[in-house]
Amino acid sequence: MEPVIEVKSLRKTYKKRKTKELIQAVSDVTFSVNRGEIVGLLGPNGAGKTTTIKMICGLLIPDSGTITINGQNNQKKRLKSLRHISAVLEGNRNLYWRLTVRENLEYFAGNRGESKKDVANRIDELLVKFHLKDKEKELVNRLSRGMQQKLAIAVAMLAESDVILLDEPTLGLDVETGYEVRELLREIVQEYDRTIIISTHDMDVVQDLCDRTIIVNKGKIVTDDKVENLLRLFEVRSYTISLSALLSEKQQILLDQKFPDYKYTPDTIGSKLEIDLAKSEEIYDLFDILKMNMTPVESIDRGTINFEQIFMKIVKGEQQNVLVQSS
């Protein structure tokens, strides 16, 4: 696959205004994005997601490292590289609220040097696609937040760039509109063959939409893998075991030593043991401990894990070793 974006050894440091303390916002970040891919950029607040996005957009100059967009260095050929990308950075704030839906689209097209006439058909198509046709003459400040968000994405689409960067596209949207935006993004990729990078806190967006996720924490990439790989990786090693007897003190000490994060809910009718295994072979150690007292096992359930839990585990560094091995 041909990479559309190549980010190499990116670094950005900020100085805090009051304390003059240096903050490493992005540290040695390297990744690439292939054509037609949807990549999720995940991370807690202050992880460096927005800084990375803004450096790709050419809005922020990195201290070191390079960003290549469609083969063009975005520092050396900034304006040329901007032809290949568009972005929604602040959602509904990226619009002119006193202009109508259509006027906004026309104005942003004009700012890219295109005439109203040239973009008229494209605008009509996008208005239909984004269910905004009946609102085209409405002032933006009279639209709901969801509609404003859709319009902001439509503006980015109008540019016909190869890559669209979206910073928190579902932030502040209700469940229904959030779902609608996700569906729209899915259609954009399928129908228009665009490459999308989404920076988000919304795990549903990542799980639903993204082919690949890059998790950043404290300015560094913690993991870069396919969403399905991460789900599989964590799912197979998370177990809930129902026991029809209590565990002895000795068994609990051994579990503590072997699986320090295990969760035990004792009950005379049916105890529950929740355990995450670092390696699949560890299940034999678990059986050995249970076998000691011939503890009766009622059932073993493979844990279902959602992306939010995976994210928390990765960011907390609980699964660092596993990830290193998996990569």
Partner 1 sequence: MSWFNLLKANLRKEYLEMKRYLPNTIAMVLTFYILFIGMFFGIQIIGDPTTQDINIQFTIVNYIFWFFAMMTVNAIGWQITNEAMRGTLEQLSMSPMGIWKIMLMRLIASTVINFIMIIALLYLSMFTSGQWLNIDVGTILPILILTIISMFGLGFIIAGLSIILKQVQAFLQILQFILAGLTFVPLSVAPFLAFFPFVKGVDLVRAVMIEGVTFTQIPMVDFLILGFNAIFYFVIGLLFFFYCERFAMNKGLLAHY
Q: Which of 8, 11, 35, 112 binds partner 1 (CB under 8 A)?
A: 112
Nearest to 291 by CA among 243, 259, 258: 243
Q: Which of 10, 26, 47, 57 binds partner 1 (CB under 8 A)?
A: 57
Q: Is 120 near partner 1 (CB under 8 A)? A: no
CA dihedral 132, 133, 137, 138 (to 10 degrees): -30
Q: Is 103 near partner 1 (CB under 8 A)? A: yes
Q: Which of 39, 87, 198, 305 binds partner 1 (CB under 8 A)?
A: 87
Q: Is 122 near partner 1 (CB under 8 A)? A: no
Nearest to 80 by CA among 161, 195, 8: 161
Q: Is 35 near partner 1 (CB under 8 A)? A: no
Cβ proximity to partner 1: between 54 and 212 the closer is: 54
Q: To the nearest whole angstrom, how small is the minimum distance from the Cβ of residue 128 to partner 1? A: 23
Q: Give 86-131 as a DSSP string.
A: EEESSGGGGS-TTSBHHHHHHHHHHHTT--HHHHHHHHHHHHHHTT
Residue pair 89/167 in contact (Cβ under 8 Å)? The answer is: yes
Q: Is 108 near partner 1 (CB under 8 A)? A: yes
Q: Is 94 near partner 1 (CB under 8 A)? A: yes
Q: To the nearest whole angstrom, how small is the minimum distance from the Cβ of residue 301 to partner 1? A: 47
Q: Which among 85-93, 202-210, 252-260, 291-299 is the span making contact with partner 1, rule CB under 8 A? A: 85-93
Cα–Cα distances (Å) from 3 to 210, 224, 264, in that order, read 16, 15, 47
Chain positions contacting partner 1, by CB under 8 A: 14, 51, 54, 57-61, 79-80, 82-83, 85-87, 89-90, 93-99, 103, 106-116, 139, 155
